[in-house]
Amino acid sequence: MAQNETTTSNGSTRSVDGSGYTQVYDEVGDAVASIRVYYDYGGAAQGSGFLYGDGYLVTNEHVVAGASEYYVRFTDSDWQEVSVVGTDVYSDLAVLDIESVPADAPALRLVDSTPDIGTRVVAIGNPFGLSGSVSEGIVSGVDRTLEGANNFSIAAGLQTDAAVNPGNSGGPLVDLDGDVVGVINSGGGDNVGFAISSQLVQRVVPALIEDGNYDHPYMGVTLQNVSPLVAAANRLDDASGVYIDSTLPGGPAEGVLEGSTDTQRIEGVEVGVGGDIVRRLGDTPIATRGDLATYLALETSPGEAMDVTVQRDGSTETVSLTVGTRPEPQG
């Protein structure tokens, strides 16, 4: 294989120099739209979106939140007014209904699995209102925990060094096959951008189209990574796993999992002691909060029973927890 070629999913090769990125843009650029929204108080905001399925556009919830009018424009089309089908603040995803779709604009495909770190990607969107802008980079990290609403987080996020700026929000992050690996969510600084994974998109978006909302799995606990201080206070052999600090009243974990029974001061820090240490969910080892959040978000649904293997009082046991539904956002 030549130095500047990569193998695509169908076994062919593609250049990854400028001409290769041009080819990706030629394949998917027509499916990416500019979004402009207006508020009752007279303000306006902008973002990006991309075609999904038959006549729908995926974008971020924060792009459309609080607005009263919504307009979309593709590369070679006029602005058209659209409506919101559904929104989900917890995943920062929204779906718009579009009546007029350009004939040559294909609905984009979403990948089914987490991309490898180092996968070459292209971000397409409308930073600062500059429609059809392209930036390139790689997948810099996976299973990132993104900031969400009401002290919840967005699990299974992607990190990229492709440049993303205000206005890119809601646009696609695609691989060199032109398939969506994530929905651009935010930029975190120089060479750090984040996207909502295609796996979470594929769970949330169909529900938004069908019902206008999505029910997120919920355990009803407060938790933290097992840090060296938590490990020392709880006399653990290694600083790994997830510590249950408390179970919330009336939540799924109440009476099933055990939270802190006391605190201990270690190196000047108050640390919970006596709580369960989560080691596995189902058959999946859990080493961090990110592992727990990803499993809960992608592998479970409300109403399902889930095996939770915990270390408790020096021994290991497995309990069954019925997954609940995350409470409605407040405020």
- Cite the active site residues: 62, 92, 169
Angle at alpha carbon of residue 274, lines to 305 and 269, rounded to 5°: 120
Altogether, the residues listed in the chain come to a count of 331
Distances (CA, A) of 244 to 240, 254, 278, 308: 13, 11, 7, 12
* Pairwise CA distance, residues 324 & 308, whole Å: 14
Distances (CA, A) of 27 to 201, 287, 308: 21, 40, 44
254: which DSSP letter? B
Six-digit token pair at 167? 């206005």
Token look-up 């169908």 returns: 10
* Amino acid found at 215: D
**H or E element that contains 199:** helix 198-211
Asked if residues 167 and 128 have their Cβ atoms less than 8 Å apart, the reply is yes
